[in-house]
Structures are given as C-alpha cells and as structure tokens.
Amino acid sequence: MLEAAEAVVVKRGSGPARVDLARCLAGVLGVSRLHLLLDYERPLSEDERASYRARFQRLLDGEPLAYVMGRREFFGRSFRVTPDVLIPRPETETLVSAALEALPEAAHVFEPCTGSGCVAITLALERPDLVVTASDVSAPALGVAAENAASLGAEVEWLKGSFWQPVAGRVFGGLVANPPYVDPARPDLFDASLRFEPEAALFSPAGDPTFAYRELLAGGIDGLVIGAPVLFEAGIDTAEPLADLAERHADYGDVTRVLDIAGKCRVLRLRRCAVTG
C-alpha cells in the first residue's frame, strides 16, 4: 500500500513526503512507524485500505498531515488538532522554552489566543507551580484545548474572549502569547497549506502585522504586575518591528531577542516596568 502511494506521488512529480505517507499508514493501523517497518508484509483489511486511501487523497490535496491524522506532537506530548486550531509548530516550542525559563515561581500566567492549548497546557505540566489562565475568541478552539487538557491531566482556566477582554480587571505575573501575526498582504511569506488553518488565529489585519502585539502591550499596562515577563512569538517579518515597538514603549523594557534552532529571531522577551521621570 505504501509503495502504491509513493508511486502516485512520483508520477505526479509532487506530493507528500515519504515519511508523511508512512506516518499516515501507521496512524491508520494504530502502530508506531518502527512497528510498521518490522511488520512490513502484514496484509491490510479492506477497511484499513479504504481509510488509508481517503487520508492519502487528503494529503495529495495539500492538507497538512496533522489535520489528516488529528494529532500533533508538541514538547514531547501528543495534542489533538482540528481545523479549528493552528497546528503547533517548532518555533512555538522555542516560545515555551523561553517562558519556562523566564516566568517567576508561582506566577499567575495569562496566555491569550491559545488555540489547541498546547502552550498553556505545556506550561502547566512543565511548571506545576504556575497558575495558568488561557483564552481564545473561538468556542470550538476552546473545546479542543479543554479536551487536550483533560487527556493530558493539566489544570488550566479556559475563558472565551479577545485579548485582555475576558480577564478585564485581573492582574497577572506573566504574559505568554502567540497571536495572529501573518500579514495576508504578504503571500510571499507563507505557503499554500495555510489555507487549511483558521484565518482568525493566523492572520493580522492586512498590512498591520503588529496589531495584536500593540493590543496585548496596551492591555498589559493594567493587566501585568511591575516586573512581569512578557514573551511573544513573532514571524520572520514581524520580529524586528515588534522589537522596535517594545523598545520604544515606556511601560516595557529589557527587550531580548530569542533565537530558534535555525538562528532566527522568532521570540521576543521583555518585561513590564515602572515608568520613571
């Protein structure tokens, strides 16, 4: 079955990578990729063949493997994903790693735009001392996040609303966010597979990729204690504009660029500070 799928891809001249075809088949069979290799001659039932053909066609259509399989690994854990949430990405693991290092002990942390909940849940599981509140404007996304939290045993408070609105009047000891920052006016910066992901979670207003960051920084003036760390994931084209915005903001300081494994700045770390003078 795997050879037949590979032959189709070769004949087309484009399509999913061989490793994704193998992952898809392993998922259909409910086994690991290693088990698939060890039991390569195992015959497939008609139901298994039909399931694999359907998923293979979705991959040929360009749908990401995470949506086809309904799962994505993040920080060593398996998260459920649906088209209602963004697919967790490696750069977001950089955000989480930086947050785990920067957040003070027993801090109450706010994570807006939570999507699948992978950031909030990972923070709660990796740092049990933290109190984590997360929000999203999408009720279906919050449903996915709550399901992930329940399956992984994480305690997170889930709220519905935009940016600081659902926590108005509350004060937090840290802010961690991966807000919408992809500029729809710059299609040269994203690939076609993004058409499967939720636009509201992905795209900024056209021509204004720092919009969400400005909203979060403004809300943090009242919503964060002095000294609270702030960690933002940023896009390739938004990291420097965001750094410039933060460095010029009177209510924030200690702006630090955090590089990913490729040496690119994909995370900004800063701190809520007192205005002097």
Q: What is the CATH number of the domain that holds 216?
A: 3.40.50.150
Enter the pTM of the model: 0.91
Each residue's pLDDT tens digit, 113-158: 999 999 999 999 999 999 999 999 999 999 999 999 999 999 999 9
- The reply to whether 247 falls in a domain is yes
Range of the domain at 255: 83-272
Are 128 and 248 members of one domain? yes
- The reply to whether 207 falls in a domain is yes
What are the distances in angstroms from CA 215 to CA 98, 105, 108, 128?
22, 26, 20, 29
Are 44 and 159 members of one domain? no
Residue 39's pLDDT is what? 67
pLDDT band at 40 (very low <50, low <70, confident <90, very high): low
- The reply to whether 43 falls in a domain is yes
Are 50 and 99 members of one domain? no
Maximum mean pLDDT: which of 61-65, 227-231, 264-268: 227-231
What distance in Å separates the CA atoms of residue 219 and residue 197, rounded to the nearest whole number?
27
What are 81's two structure tokens? 């994903």
What are 212's two structure tokens? 């969400």
How much is the mean pLDDT over the chain? 91
Position 162 pLDDT exceeds 80: yes
What are the distances in angstroms from CA 97 to CA 55, 90, 92, 169, 259?
33, 11, 9, 28, 11
Give the lowest-confidence range in 7-16, 145-154, 210-219, 231-240: 7-16
SS3 category, 89: coil
| Cβ–Cβ under 8 Å, residues 238 and 209 | yes
Are 124 and 225 members of one domain? yes
- The reply to whether 277 falls in a domain is no
Handedness of CA 199, 201, 205, 207 (dihedral sign): negative
Question: Would you list the DSSP string of 109-128?
Answer: EEE-S-TTSHHHHHHHHH-T
Q: List strand residue ranges (DSSP E) for 66-191, in order.
A: 71-74, 77-80, 108-111, 131-136, 157-160, 174-177
Position 2 pLDDT exceeds 90: no
Q: What are phi and psi of 6, to 5 degrees?
A: -65, -40
- The reply to whether 70 falls in a domain is no
| Alpha-carbon torsion, ordered 22, 24, 30, 34, to 10 deg | 20
| Cβ–Cβ under 8 Å, residues 249 and 218 | no
* Other CB atoms within 10 Å distance of the CB of residue 94: 21
What are 153's two structure tokens? 């045993």
Are 161 and 239 members of one domain? yes
